[in-house]
Amino acid sequence: MNLPTPVGRQPHVAYLPPTGHHVVLGTAGTGKTVMAVLRALYLSDPGVQGSGKTLLVTYNNALVTYLNHLSNGASSALDIRTYGRFARGYLNDRGLMQGWNAIVKPNQRRSLVETAIRTTSKGYKPHTFFDRESGWFRDELSWITGMGINSEEEYLKAERLGRRTALNANLRSVVWKILEKYRELRDARGHQYDWDDIAMTVRDQLAIDGRSRLYRHVIIDEGQDLAPEEIRSLVEAIQPDGSVTFFGDYAQQIYGQGMSWRACGLMVRQTETFRDNYRNSTAIANVAIALSSQPFFGRTDELVPPVAPTAAGPKPTLVHCVSQEQEISVIQDAAKRLGSVGTVAVVARTWADADRACEGIQSNRLQSDKYFWNSAPGVYRTTYHSAKGLEFDAVLMPFCGADKVPLNDVVEALGNDDAAERESKLLYVALTRAKSDLLITYSGALTPLLPSTAGLFAEVSP
């Protein structure tokens, strides 16, 4: 098995009772993923009392591959899936998936939302609200659906969790009209669902499905990035004598649903907390702690304060370059040097930037759907989003100038405050992937989202 021996609170969590709901919170590198796998192996082991078919749900296909590697060919009683794959499979089983076209693709959704905004605006006097980036509307529609909000009345009353900008009742009514128009357009094109509202249908179907449930146990890894409606559907998908175990870290929440597990049907008296970081060196953890302590990082009830580890390692390096070309050259030199002895990830905000930073050197693109886990030394390239849950000996982060982070599109769509919160959480995800070496480059001014506390970095010029 590729799993460490559990220590501290870990064995307690891995072998929690096989019934009821459990919530385990902890910041980066505290062993949530490895304990999620250990618990999944335990609950699916036929020799264990109360065991049964188990579903381990995680964030993307890259993590499914990683979890398969960790579980090392577990029994057929364990399924490791993304939420999307679980939902699609269940609805297919119910005869409700009419092929691939059933789920609208993100670019089609974008264009349908834009049409819905234009069409709806015609019913109103000209208003700047309709000039907002369509990204804002797409995000708001995802939020409404992910929260499981079913009517305009419910939306008008809803607390806008995870949203920093207020929205008055009149504007909410307009958004609701846009949502209805979008759904009408989508149905007319023959798409039954998008990735946000598929969970609502799963719940509706589970409510009328009299058959016995396939899974006795569900374990959720990276739970902070599932929408409340997705979690509710998983809670409802287990057998009555089974269990749900939710592992999450609100410091790494990257889609801003602002959910609380309490609102997701999880009935827990007390949460378990992991505090010891087994991945990052102290110097890297100090950067993560300083980053998460900044006022715009956001707070939720469930945020667990990170506790610094004691592992030795060099201070992270911050390199001020004169141009992006120079950044690429610094990143490539470091990648070649470190990639011959360990795993190195070049992690950028967008795929275009990750590809650009690695142009001309040997590197593997960690695309979530085409990726096979390989822990051999080498250079990998990926984005902040796709690096989630993974770890590398060294992480190299190019293009951390103020003109690149936060991403302009996100600022335009969501405004400064929401953008600062989301993008700093992404930075947090990216830099906590590093076990011992972290190198960040920028040209122009440094992004204001990185902490400026003296002494955190070794600051150099090439």
Ligand X SMILES: Nc1ncnc2c1ncn2[C@@H]1O[C@H](COP(=O)(O)OP(=O)(O)OP(=O)(O)O)[C@@H](O)[C@H]1O
- Provide the minimum distance between the beta carbon of 85 and ligand X in the complex, in angstroms, as a whole number: 20
Identity of the residue, 389 or 398, whose beta carbon is nearer to ligand X in the bound complex = 389
Distances (CA, A) of 105 to 119, 163, 193, 353: 21, 25, 10, 23
Please state the closest distance from residue 245 (CB atom) to ligand X, in A. Answer: 13
Quick one: 11 or 462, whose CB is closer to ligand X? 11
- Residue 275 burial (CB < 10 Å; 0-12/13-18/19+)? middle
Query: In the set 1, 4, 93, 377, which binds ligand X (CB under 6 A)?
Result: 4
Measured CA to CA, the distance from residue 429 to residue 431 in angstroms comes to 6
Is residue 27 part of an annotated ligand binding site? yes
Which position among 10, 145, 436, 441 is part of the footprint of ligand X (CB under 6 A)? 10
47 has binding-site annotation? no
Lookup result for tokens 């490791």: 80
Which of 18, 162, 389, 401 binds ligand X (CB under 6 A)? It is: 389
H or E element in which residue 365 lies: strand 364-365
Among 9, 30, 291, 335, binds ligand X (CB under 6 A): 30
* 305 is a site residue for ligand X (CB under 6 A): no
- Least Cβ distance, residue 10 to ligand X (angstroms): 6
Q: Is 148 in the site for ligand X (CB under 6 A)?
A: no
Q: Is 210 annotated as a binding residue?
A: no
Residues that bind ligand X (rule: CB under 6 A) add up to a total of 20
Of 119, 457, 423, nearest to 314 by C-alpha is 457
Instruction: In angstroms, give the least distance from the CB of 233 to ligand X.
Output: 23
Show the CA angle centred on residue 299, arms to residues 297 and 300, nearest 5°: 145
Is the Cβ–Cβ distance between 110 and 138 less than 8 Å?
A: yes
Site for ligand X in 418-457 (CB under 6 A): 432
When the beta carbons of 201 and 257 are compared against ligand X, the nearer one is: 257
Is the distance from CB of 62 to CB of 390 less than 8 angstroms? yes
- Comparing CB distances to ligand X, the nearer of 5 and 212 is 5
Task: Tell me if 26 is assigned to a ligand binding site.
Answer: yes
| By the rule CB under 6 A, 28 interacts with ligand X | yes
* Longest distance between any two alpha carbons in the chain, whole Å: 68
Residue 29 engages ligand X in binding (rule: CB under 6 A): yes
Q: Nearer to ligand X by C-beta: 68 or 239?
A: 68
242 marked as part of a ligand binding site: no
Residue type, 430: A
Cα–Cα distances in Å, from 404 out to 41, 155, 253, 283, 438? Answer: 42, 34, 20, 25, 19
Residues in contact with ligand X, shown as a per-residue x/- string from 267 to 296 under the rule CB under 6 A: -----------xx-----------------
* Nearest 10 degrees: Cα torsion 213, 218, 223, 228: 20
Residue with Cβ nearer ligand X (130 or 278): 278
Binding residue for ligand X, selected from 79, 140, 302, 391, defined by CB under 6 A: 391
Instruction: Report in angstroms how near the CB of residue 5 gets to ligand X at its nearest.
Output: 6
CB contact set of 409 (below 8 Å; sequence gap of 6+): 133, 135
Pull the structure tokens for residue 209. 């499905």
Q: Return the range that interacts with ligand X (CB under 6 A); candidates 1-9, 92-100, 187-195, 300-308.
A: 1-9
User: How many beta carbons lie within 10 A of that of residue 279, not counting itself?
Assistant: 19
Q: How far is the CB of 84 from ligand X (least distance, A)?
A: 20
- Burial of residue 310 (CB within 10 Å: 0-12, 13-18, 19+) is exposed
Q: Which of residues 56-95 bind ligand X (CB under 6 A)?
A: none
Interface pick for ligand X out of 31, 162, 258, 401 (rule CB under 6 A) = 31
Could you please report the per-residue DSSP string of 272-297?
EEE-B-SSS-HHHHHHHHHHHTSGGG
Among 28, 80, 91, smallest CA distance to 58 is for 80
Of 5 and 76, the one with the shorter C-beta distance to ligand X is 5
Considering the complex, what minimum distance in angstroms separates the CB of residue 13 from ligand X?
A: 11
C-alpha 219/C-alpha 55 separation (Å) is: 6
The answer to whether the annotation marks 73 as part of a ligand binding site is no
* Touching ligand X, residues 243-272 (CB under 6 A): 249, 252
What token pair was written down for 12? 């307690």
Distance of closest approach, residue 138 Cβ to ligand X, in angstroms: 27
Binding stretches for ligand X (CB under 6 A): 4-7, 10, 26, 28-34, 249, 252, 278-279, 389, 391, 432
Which residue positions form the known binding site for ATP?
26-33
Which residue positions form the known binding site?
26-33
